[in-house]
Amino acid sequence: MVGGAACAVAVQYAMKLLVDAMANENRMEANVWLPFGFFIGLIALENILWRGGGWLGCRTIVKTGVDLRIDLFEYLTGHPMRYFKEHFSGALGNRINQTSTAVANIFSALTWRIIPPCTDFLGAVVVMLSIRWQMALALIGFVLLVACIITGFGIRGRHRHQAFAEQASRVGGEVVDMVSNVWTIKAFSAQARERDRLAQELGVEARAQRRSWMYVEKARVLHDACLTLMAGSMLLWAIYLWRQGTVTPGDVVVVSALTFRILHGSRDLALALVDAAQQFGTVADTLQVIAQPHGIRDSENAAMLNAKSGSIDFENVSFSYPDGSKVIDNLSLHIPSGQKVGIVGTSGAGKSTLINLLQRLDEVSSGKILIDGQPIHEVSQDSLRASIAVVPQEIALFNRTIRENIRYGKSDATDEEVYKAACHAYCDHFIRQLPEGYNTLVGERGARLSGGQRQRLGIARAFLKGSPILILDEATSALDTHSEKEIQMALTDLVRGRTVLAVAHRLSTVVSFDRVIVMDKGRIVEDGPPSVLQRSGGLFESLWNIQAKALDDVQAEHHNAG
């Protein structure tokens, strides 16, 4: 691109040589063919260089956009789960795509709208020096003055561009949130209400966009006024010198051509700088949100977790939210390898937080957690989570085939291993009844499958992972009784030979476990076999009686209705 722009300036000088040759009074003796050949050769070379620049730009800028999105996604996924609860997932995705587009625009502007005018300016200075050094100094002074004015004007407007980028990302997140909750909108007849809400958000975005746009227009007016003054002054000066006989007609031509070239080029440059300021606003908005320091980081010399037996120790563990509210308070717990432990308690007792701390989805405020004697904060997060299989209450499925979703537990698993895991999870039968079997797309978040079917796929995925530690996070609480029985059969096979921690809302889920811990206000208040706790007169017995009474009431209502 530098070479192409330099040729474009040299073309103007070749035109000067051609005009001066043609100004010879003896036209037949005038040597016009050498300047003509120089002129045509430079035009051809300029085109070749510009096309070469376009080919390189196509490869590098597109690849850079791909790399940038990958890097942003990788960094984004390193944030703790609390981060994703505080931001719209749609807005985060939009920011990644918008930033890639913005950076591509910045690189394109740099390559095609900033470098060429700068090269034009340097080339023009060289040509002016060959004509009259005072003109070169005047040109430098004019361009530097205009550049300082426009750049300063553009920098002062960055907050307007960043405000527009921030609001655009917010609107993108709102739209994704509305679309993902379309069932709720329909169920509550809220189409008009949501339309008004979206119109209000778009109105704020439109006002921010108008402020950003009009600032660009003001920069254009300022630039045009400055450059018109510069072009007129330089041309008047060249005509004055020609009338005095100190410069040739070719010199006037080249001064005129270069001045107007710089005029148009600097207009592109100024607009590119202002546009780049807008694009940097988009990039800054994304980095402000995504490039925050990770709340949980691996240590520099993080080892790989070598979990074989799966014993777990919580030693004086405490955890508080950033606002200071305590969730886990000085908790100590030893779980031998192979033991099946139920975790129960009232809502807000800290059950799910305890599970998150074990997976390092949140970091302990004090104390430490060990697996097979290894402190988990000293090992890599990936190796830690590779040793833990999780079956949550709501199974998260990708809009991919059933085969791919099961294989997510072990990326290099063979088809036979996938089928075996599906059989263990009692889902092979219903999968093969689907029109495309294991190649059936499950829909967004598994929308084409029932809750019980999704749950069994999640269990198959855990089977395939084969980790020594298994977490069941209320894995059956959202299912109907028939589905729960099927899931329980699959879970009975899954827990065999593993260390199991099961957060349970339905106490019947943990009645066959080796041990139950009862949590209240971040502490363990009861610990023992479920058969003993049922008769202990404590919180577990109270919760058991409440659920038993509720079940009796439901059965009585069904009997009366019958």
Closest by CA to 96, choosing from 115, 77, 117, is: 77
Confidence at residue 371, expressed as pLDDT on a 0 to 100 scale: 92
Q: How far apart are CA 424 and CA 489, in angstroms?
A: 9
**Is residue 524 within 8 Å of 517, Cβ to Cβ?**
yes
- Which is higher by pLDDT, 200 or 480? 200
Confidence at residue 224, expressed as pLDDT on a 0 to 100 scale: 74
Residue 555, judged by CB atoms within 10 A of its CB (0-12, 13-18, 19+), counts as exposed
Q: How far apart are CA 340 and CA 515, in angstroms?
A: 6
Instruction: Give the DSSP per-residue string, 322-384.
Output: TTS-EEEEEEEEEE-TT-EEEEEESTTSSHHHHHHHHTTSS--SEEEEEETTEEGGGB-HHHH
Q: Has residue 6 got a pLDDT over 80?
A: yes
Mean predicted lDDT score pLDDT of the chain:
82
CA quadruple 550, 551, 553, 554: dihedral, nearest 10: 120
Confidence at residue 182, expressed as pLDDT on a 0 to 100 scale: 79
Phi, psi for 109 (deg, rounded to 5): -65, -40
Q: How far apart are CA 255 and CA 9, in angstroms?
A: 11
Confidence at residue 477, expressed as pLDDT on a 0 to 100 scale: 55
What mean pLDDT is predicted for residues 263-270? Answer: 69
If one counts every other C-beta atom within 10 angstroms of the C-beta of residue 102, the result is: 25
Listed range (181-190, 275-284, 300-309, 471-480) with the worst mean pLDDT:
471-480
**Is residue 401 within 8 Å of 344, Cβ to Cβ?**
no
Residues 346-379: pLDDT tens digits?
888 888 889 989 988 888 889 999 999 899 988 9
Confidence at residue 370, expressed as pLDDT on a 0 to 100 scale: 93
Cβ neighbours of residue 450 under 8 Å, at least 6 residues apart?
Answer: 483
Confidence at residue 315, expressed as pLDDT on a 0 to 100 scale: 92
Confidence at residue 309, expressed as pLDDT on a 0 to 100 scale: 85
484 band by pLDDT with thresholds 50, 70 and 90 = low
Q: How far apart are CA 76 and CA 88, in angstroms?
A: 13
**Is residue 387 within 8 Å of 469, Cβ to Cβ?**
yes
How far out from the chain centre does Cα 354 lie?
28
Whose tokens are 């609001």? That residue is 167
Confidence at residue 12, expressed as pLDDT on a 0 to 100 scale: 79
CA quadruple 99, 322, 474, 84: dihedral, nearest 10: -10
486 band by pLDDT with thresholds 50, 70 and 90 = low
**Is residue 181 within 8 Å of 193, Cβ to Cβ?**
no
Confidence at residue 369, expressed as pLDDT on a 0 to 100 scale: 92
453 band by pLDDT with thresholds 50, 70 and 90 = confident
Closest by CA to 76, choosing from 84, 65, 64, is: 84
**How much is the pTM?**
0.65
Q: Has residue 265 got a pLDDT over 80?
A: no
- Which is higher by pLDDT, 316 or 411? 316
- 515 three-state secondary structure: strand
Listed range (12-16, 272-276, 295-299, 475-479) with the worst mean pLDDT:
475-479
Closest by CA to 309, choosing from 397, 373, 242, is: 373
335 band by pLDDT with thresholds 50, 70 and 90 = very high
Instruction: Give the DSSP per-residue string, 414-456.
Output: -HHHHHHHHHHTT-HHHHHHSTTGGG-B--GGGTTS-HHHHHH
What mean pLDDT is predicted for residues 47-55? Answer: 89
Q: Has residue 426 got a pLDDT over 90?
A: no
Reading the block at residue 304, the tokens are: 């790989």
312 band by pLDDT with thresholds 50, 70 and 90 = very high
54 band by pLDDT with thresholds 50, 70 and 90 = confident
| HSE-up of residue 236 (Cα within 13 Å, Cβ side) | 6
**Is residue 311 within 8 Å of 336, Cβ to Cβ?**
yes
Residues 81-131: pLDDT tens digits?
778 877 877 778 888 888 888 898 888 888 888 888 888 878 878 877 777
Phi, psi for 388 (deg, rounded to 5): -130, 125
482 band by pLDDT with thresholds 50, 70 and 90 = low
Q: How do strand 515-520 and strand 499-503 relate by DSSP bridges?
A: unpaired
**Is residue 464 within 8 Å of 407, Cβ to Cβ?**
yes
479 band by pLDDT with thresholds 50, 70 and 90 = low
Residues 10-29: pLDDT tens digits?
887 777 777 777 776 666 66
Task: Please name each of the domains of the chain with its CATH number.
Answer: 2-24+33-290 (1.20.1560.10)
- Which is higher by pLDDT, 191 or 48? 48
Cβ neighbours of residue 301 under 8 Å, at least 6 residues apart?
Answer: none
